[in-house]
Amino acid sequence: MLFKQIVGQKNAKNGFLKMWESNHLPHALMIVGEEGTGGLPFALAITQFVFCKEKKNGDACGVCSDCNKVSRLEHADFHLSFPAISPKTGTKAMSRYFIQEFREFVAQTPYASVFDWLQFINAENKQGNIPAEECREIIDKLNLKSYEGGKKIQIIWMAEYLGKEGNILLKLIEEPPADTLLILVAENLEEVLTTIQSRTQLIRLSPIHAADIAQGLTDRSLADTKKAAQIAHLSNGSFAEALRLSQHTENDLFPEVRRWFNALFTNNGIELVKFADDLSKDGREQQKNLLQYTIQLLEQAIKLRYLPHIQPPLPEEEAQFVRKLSKHPVTFDALQKMIESISKIIYHIERNAHSKTQILSLSVQLIYFIQGKKFPML
């Protein structure tokens, strides 16, 4: 993984490079970012950068033998620990039992979550764990000489899973053997022992900007520009969510939203029935995405009411639609209520409610709001 393959996170990258260039890299880093923001990819990029012998322009070269070994997770001085399960009764949940699976998993997508990982190894209802034995093995491995004569790097992915056993590592983190770099990756810092937190240098990842997510999708040829922009707005700063959506969003959502709103604003009953009929034939994911996207557009319209000169961060057609909506006499309160009603329907659709009825009744509610009438309570 190269830094340039990381989606967004410019501040974190620059922060790391600054430490590196000024020779102030601590021997224990803690990378913290919410699910889907790229904690593991970031740790892998640091590892490759540190091992690479041909670094240039603040990144690894991507072609030298060290880069190759790190990118395959096969470098002899690069160790990985992550939540695992006991493969059979009487054995501990050691990472080494699953290293081959972990290589495959990371090759598919390093942005996936620990939940995805545990499913990948068929953990079913077993909880993942980083046991005390794994901590002891980490200490033993890092106390050995490096195989290739350079640095040794240990990544601990999902440090939350260390639990109290993490205390075993305190001394190692405080005084690691020479030429050793420990990189812990976590999503919820509160769940990591404070004794570990205080001994590591924190690198915070932020939710990824929509523009960076869109770029990440088009760079990977997972979506065209328009679809990428839509997905980026739906994924709440998570590239993992963006990847999931790119697999589930079949077509362009916007023409359907426009068709729906035209029917709503002209109170066209026949068209609204047709719309509900057509949408209910799509999969639930597609239905949810369309409704979620509608919420995003409504929120942008509300924003424009307060800040009429800003350019909505949307493709041009959607931006025009949002501008029109923001100028419509429908009240602010009505727009808010529309968002609430749509959210409620998403909730019901997620729970397998009959989607055609739900969408139709939603349309009726929205017309009430648009026309400024009170929705009759049943």
- Specify the stretch interacting with Zn ion by CB under 5 A; choose among 65-73, 128-136, 213-221, 318-326: 65-73
**Max intra-chain CA distance, the chain:** 76
Residue 173 binds Zn ion (CB under 5 A): no
Per-residue b/e over 154-191, b at no fewer than 16 CB within 10 Å? bbbbbbbbbeebbebbeebbeebeeebbbbbbbbebee
**Of residues 106 and 345, the one with the C-beta less far from Zn ion:** 106
The count of chain residues that interact with Zn ion, using the rule CB under 5 A, is 6
Q: Rounded to the nearest whole angstrom, what is the least distance from the CB of residue 94 to Zn ion in the complex? A: 30
- Specify the stretch interacting with Zn ion by CB under 5 A; choose among 66-74, 125-133, 237-245, 272-280: 66-74
**Of residues 47 and 235, the one with the C-beta less far from Zn ion:** 47
Q: Rounded to the nearest whole angstrom, what is the least distance from the CB of residue 64 to Zn ion in the complex? A: 3
Residue 64 binds Zn ion (CB under 5 A): yes
Rounded to 10 degrees, the C-alpha dihedral 9/12/14/19 comes to: -160
How many CB atoms are located within 10 Å of the residue 306 CB? Answer: 9
Sign for the pseudo-dihedral over CA of 117, 121, 127, 128: negative
- DSSP label at residue 59: B
Written as one letter, the residue type at 231 is I
Written as one letter, the residue type at 26 is P
Residue 61 binds Zn ion (CB under 5 A): yes
| Binding-site member from 7, 67, 70, 243 for Zn ion (CB under 5 A) | 67
Q: Rounded to the nearest whole angstrom, what is the least distance from the CB of residue 8 to Zn ion in the complex? A: 23
Nearest to 219 by CA among 62, 1, 2, 7: 7
Pair 60, 53: CB distance under 8 Å: no
Place of tokens 């913290």: 32
Q: Give the tokens for residue 56.
A: 């240039």
**Of residues 60 and 330, the one with the C-beta less far from Zn ion:** 60
**Of residues 55 and 220, the one with the C-beta less far from Zn ion:** 55
**Of residues 57 and 122, the one with the C-beta less far from Zn ion:** 57
Q: Rounded to the nearest whole angstrom, what is the least distance from the CB of residue 5 to Zn ion in the complex? A: 13
Tell which positions 31-60 bind Zn ion, by CB under 5 A.
Answer: 52, 54, 60
**Of residues 53 and 324, the one with the C-beta less far from Zn ion:** 53
Q: Rounded to the nearest whole angstrom, what is the least distance from the CB of residue 56 to Zn ion in the complex? A: 9
Q: Rounded to the nearest whole angstrom, what is the least distance from the CB of residue 44 to Zn ion in the complex? A: 13
Residue 19 binds Zn ion (CB under 5 A): no
Written as one letter, the residue type at 186 is A
Question: How far is Cα of residue 356 from the mean position of the Cα atoms in its chain?
Answer: 31
Site residues (vs Zn ion, CB under 5 A): 52, 54, 60-61, 64, 67
